[in-house]
């Protein structure tokens, strides 16, 4: 609205300027006609001052057409400028409408997939909580060490819940040992560590971890 109002003001000013120039031209023409009539009615030898006035008036009239032409050219330039500005405003308005049409936030498909993953993780946590706790092992008498015995691999400090894929990246969801809340579930990708166990790779049915001092250990995926 401001642009159209400004355009109307400029066009009005240009029209007013053209009208003023036309009025001045008309007055000069009337003056010239009066001088010519006076010259015709005067003697054969006109007064030098009258000739000077006629020459000055003729020079003034000769300078008016270029001014009118320049005014018309300026008006055409103003029209072209306002046309380009109106086009830019239309493009900005179209861009704003396209931006407003873009949905904000996750789509229904993303929310449904997230809800399904959360449900699976919650089911796994409930199953883990309902699992009976084994009684503490009774201390056994110390037996003589066997030279050929292998060192027992420690129990993982977490429970594997499953595999999730986000884009092209695969994760394993794990629940730290002793935790039961869904908020404590971790998503690990190759290179991440939890309680000293570093995930090396995710295979089809197992996850391979690097155990400190013991090398690699493969855990089955549920």
The enclosing domain of 178 has a CATH number of 2.30.30
Which strand (E) or helix (H) includes residue 62? helix 48-101
Looking at the fold, whether 59 and 116 belong to one and the same domain comes out as: no
The pLDDT of residue 159: 92
Contact 190, 202 (CB under 8 A): yes
- Domain that includes residue 191, residue range: 111-129+155-220
What is the CB neighbour count within 10 angstroms for residue 157?
13
| No. of helices (H) and no. of strands (E), the chain | 3, 7
List, for residues 46-98, the tens digit of each pLDDT value: 577 778 888 888 888 888 888 878 888 888 888 887 788 678 878 867 766 76
Residue-wise pLDDT tens digits, 74-86: 888 888 877 886 7
Contact in structure between 49 and 42 (CB atoms under 8 Å): no
Tally of structural domains, the chain: 2
């Amino acid at each position: 609205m401001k642009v159209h109002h400004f355009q109307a003001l400029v066009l009005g000013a240009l029209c007013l300027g053209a009208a003023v120039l036309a009025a001045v031209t008309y007055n000069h023409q009337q003056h010239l006609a009066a001088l010519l009539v006076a010259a015709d009615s005067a003697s054969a030898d006109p007064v030098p001052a009258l000739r000077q006035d006629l020459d000055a008036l003729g020079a003034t009239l000769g300078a008016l057409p270029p001014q009118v032409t320049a005014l018309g050219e300026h008006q055409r330039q103003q029209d072209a400028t306002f046309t380009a500005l109106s086009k830019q405003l239309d493009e900005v308005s179209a861009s704003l409408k396209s931006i407003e049409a873009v949905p904000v936030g996750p789509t229904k498909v993303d929310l449904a997939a997230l809800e399904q993953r959360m449900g699976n993780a919650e089911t796994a946590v409930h199953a883990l909580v309902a699992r009976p706790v084994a009684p503490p092992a009774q201390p056994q008498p110390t037996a003589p060490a066997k030279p050929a015995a292998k060192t027992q691999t420690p129990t993982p400090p977490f429970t594997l819940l499953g595999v999730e894929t986000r884009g092209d990246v695969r994760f394993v969801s794990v629940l730290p040992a002793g935790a039961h809340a869904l908020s404590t579930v971790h998503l690990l990708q190759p290179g991440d560590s939890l309680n000293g166990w570093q995930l090396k790779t995710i295979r089809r049915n197992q996850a391979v971890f690097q155990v400190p001092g013991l090398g690699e250990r493969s855990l089955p995926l549920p």
